[in-house]
A and B are shown apart, each in its own frame.
Chain A
Amino acid sequence: MFSPITPAHYLFVGIVLFVTGMICLLTKRNIIAILIGVELILNAANINFIAFSSPVLFPKRVPPLVLDGQIFVLFVMILAAAEAAVALAIALHFYSRFGTVDVDQGDELKG
């Protein structure tokens, strides 16, 4: 009845997360919401890393379990933390500059 969880399931979750984050990026005008979207996309990538490091995909590998994907995920998390710090600083400056967190107000760099 229940088939075992395969990487495809993981990837599906990753896709859902990615698309959710992307939609968040595309639709939200609040800079904080956009940051949240970015976090979602990063985590979608993390799930992909984990999915592709599944031993199911490499049945003849010795030893079968290698934690490459998981280690990448740790790096990404650290990266995401750093990115969040920088991004929040930018958001703060944005707010103090424009008096709002609506990114559509910050279109001064248009050609």
Chain B
Amino acid sequence: MSSLSLVPQLLLIAWMLPLASFVFIFLTGSFLDRRGRASGFIATAAIAGSFLLSVVAAALWFGYYPLDSNHQASSHPIRPLSGDWYTLAEFGSIKLALGYYIDALTLAMYVMVSFIATLIHIYSFGYMHEELHEVNDPQVILGDGTTLRRPGRFARFFQYLSLFGFSMLGLVIANNLLMTFVFWELVGICSYFLIGFYVERSSATSAGNKAFIVNRVGDFGMVLGLAALLTSCGTLHFDHYQTTNGAHYAGLFFYAKAIQHPASELEPAEGSRSEDSQSNPETPPVTLSGPKGLTYGLLVLAGLALLCGCLGKSAQFPLHVWLPDAMEGPTPVSALIHAATMVAAGVYLVGRIYPLLTPEVLIVVAVIGTITLFMAATIALTATDIKKVLAYSTISQLGYMMLGLGTGGWVAGLFHLFTHAFFKALLFLGSGSVIHACGTNEMPQMGGLLRKMPWTAITMLIGCLAIAGAGIPLWAGFSGYHSKDAILAQVYLFHTTNRFLGWIYYLALVSAALTAFYMFRLWFLTFIGQPRNEHIFGHAHESPKSMTVPLVVLAFFAVVAGWSVPGTHWSLSALLEQARVTPLLENSQVPLFGNVVIPHEHESHEAQIHQLVSLEAFTAGILGFAIAVVFYGARWLDPAKVCQRFFGLYRFLLNKWYFDELYSRLFVRPVTWVASVAAWIDRAVIDWTVDHAAVAVRSLAHLDDWLDRILVDGAVNRLAAAIYGMGEWFRQWQTGRIRNYILWIVVGLVSLFILGSIYFGLGMHLVVGAS
């Protein structure tokens, strides 16, 4: 018990280490940049610490729940660990919290994400070394014709890598959909930062914007799904949870189960939860806060809405357009996005919320997955940019995962997610190594690099074999062989039970052949044949150790990830089997589509199905490989002539099925049209009104000004001038000469006297009369 209770704490520390690294580099980045590679060491140490802690946590878990015993039957049933670390808010029974939901899937994701991220961190030391000093970016031409010189951004790169790791780990461990959503968006913003890492290149910034905006479209649906579930169930927790006042409430999985299987009711779920690992031996009284309005139809709608988000993140059919453009980022970022974090998030979430997805939603997942995998595989045939080929192959493989999940192959789909993470990281890092050596992404410029870069070439060959699903049928093969066969077996089973959806299986099979073809086309074009550009070939060289060592490690896992540990039943698929959440205990009828049945996964493990599918997939792979040899390996046929022959089809594929043009017509142009109309209204109506109002006010002001100056000021000035003039006139009397004053006194006196004598005869009569 105590060993298990340690697991959440270990994972919490593992989760927080990259955040600490991010914050530290964020605060001291400019200082660290002057110290060389210090920021890289910090970030790498943090993620490597996460990896070690995850491994310890996984060891504790699997020590407690060994893989080779049958837990479902024993008295020792497996329960996911669920709880809250930090409560953000509580409204009655609604609880918003950051918490953990830990089962074998969570642990496997933790180990895989931190492991691959660690390797990519190490690889970035070599790949990003240019950022250590001032960078001359030849792709940015300034106004005066020179190229841009800018300071290196080594610290910033690792800062975002750390944030990316933190976001992804938070998304994986989330125990409620709200927390999932928060980290979902954090993953999105990190990808935005890293895709647009070369901010001075307009292609990089628009690719970042595209990724961000396309993901918003999907997230819009996801928010609707969250709202539907929150209003109808009153919670977003996956599992049962406890509020601060001690009451227990049921989680989403319980409601979904109750809605989908009303007959089975809740006893087993309740019973299994009673002896919880917390020190509560009694059954906690679970309060059912709902389902207030949860109906089957609403659950379907909520599932479809949540699926929208997953389609956006995992670049599935209608929303896949951002992923190829995301290649503008530095190659380690592409590897991180494609292998461990961003696109894996969508598939992981479908796997995590599997109990919420009704069979109808699963059918949609399967159909979209099929369309995606076929479409992306065909586009990859004609792409010449080495990273674009890999990008489309990622979309295609994600389609396989979705197809596996959609046809009921929960373990198969997630199994492919894990094996794909290894070999796609390998392929991307290998392509990065090639790009690093050649300085170009264009495969027609390469060729013959096998002699120059043997390590890269061999590891990439292993990656190609793994993604093509190479193996000896019925015995063993590269990791992709095991996971892809598991998916194909499940799809085959689906196809046998639902004949009219059989095209799904055939498309998947054809795409398997296409996968082999385009991967070997890539390899042959890059590493075999005559160098097509002597200048680039002359400069090519093997990458440094920090880049080749991760390649070798990944190549090892790309080979063995599908195998079981010798002498035991321990394997990735057994591990995922243990984490299985089982909404589909038996074949489930799809109520809304009548006769569609989603088969139970265990039936696809039947030997005869496996043999048949194995052989068919092997044949398809060999076929694709053979065509690649014919065209690009041995060059018996000239691909250019074939392109000429089927020019219409070639152009259609080269233009990526015209999706960008379609979206441009459907969304971008209408929006820009509306914007230009709005701009016209703004200029012609609003600006006109404002301008003319301004003119009117100005002329009014002129009139006012005139009145003020002429009338008001005039009157005041005249008065002042008059008074001034008067003062001037009086001034001349003020001579300061005392005799003048006396003279005037005398003159005044005499005149007063004369006046007085004339008018009043003042005093004269006295004098005259007296005399």
Contact = CB atoms under 8 A, between A and B. Distances in A.
B730 A111 contact: yes
Interface in B288-302: none
B450 to A, nearest CB: 112
A68 interface: no
Contact of A26 (B735, B743, B771): B743
Contacts of B731: 111
Interface string A30-51: 0000100000000000000000
Interface of B: 730-739, 742-743, 746, 767, 770-771
Nearest to B742: A25
A103 B739 contact: yes
A11 interface: yes
B767 A11 contact: yes
- The 10 A-B pairs with the shortest beta carbon distances in the complex, nearest first, are A110-B736, A107-B736, A111-B734, A111-B731, A8-B771, A25-B742, A109-B736, A103-B738, A110-B735, A110-B734
A110 B770 CA distance: 46
A103 B746 contact: no
A17 to B, nearest CB: 15
Pick the most buried of A34, A106, A110: most chain B CB atoms within 10 A of its CB.
A110
Contacts of B743: 26
Given A111-B730, A111-B734, A8 B770 contact: yes
Given A8-B771, A22-B742, 15 more contacts: A6-B771, A7-B767, A7-B770, A8-B767, A8-B770, A11-B767, A26-B746, A56-B770, A104-B737, A106-B736, A107-B736, A107-B737, A109-B734, A110-B736, A111-B734
B267 to A, nearest CB: 117
A71 to B, nearest CB: 21
Nearest to A19: B746
Interface size class of chain A, counting residues whose CB lies under 8 Å from the partner chain: 20 to 34
A6 B771 CA distance: 8
B770 A57 contact: yes
A84 B739 CA distance: 19
Contacts of B738: 34, 103, 106
A107 B742 contact: no
A73 to B, nearest CB: 20
Interface in A2-30: 6-8, 11, 22, 25-27, 29
Interface in A87-107: 103-104, 106-107
Contacts of B739: 25-27, 29, 103-104
A26 B737 contact: no
Interface of A: 6-8, 11, 22, 25-27, 29, 34, 56-57, 103-104, 106-111
Nearest to A6: B771
B298 to A, nearest CB: 101
B742 to A, nearest CB: 5
A57 B771 CA distance: 10
A23 B746 CA distance: 10
A26 B770 CA distance: 32
A26 B742 contact: yes
A100 to B, nearest CB: 14
A107 B767 contact: no
27 contacts: A6-B770, A6-B771, A7-B767, A7-B770, A8-B767, A22-B742, A25-B742, A26-B739, A26-B743, A27-B739, A57-B770, A103-B737, A104-B737, A104-B739, A106-B736, A106-B738, A107-B735, A107-B737, A108-B736, A110-B734, A110-B735, A110-B737, A111-B730, A111-B731, A111-B732, A111-B733, A111-B734
A29 to B, nearest CB: 7
A25 B733 CA distance: 18
B555 to A, nearest CB: 110
Contacts of B736: 106-111
A76 to B, nearest CB: 19
Pick the most buried of B736, B743, B771: most chain A CB atoms within 10 A of its CB.
B736
B188 to A, nearest CB: 87
B52 to A, nearest CB: 101
A22 B746 contact: yes
Nearest to B738: A103
B294 to A, nearest CB: 102
A72 B518 CA distance: 141
Contacts of B737: 103-104, 107, 110
Pick the most buried of A11, A25, A34: most chain B CB atoms within 10 A of its CB.
A25
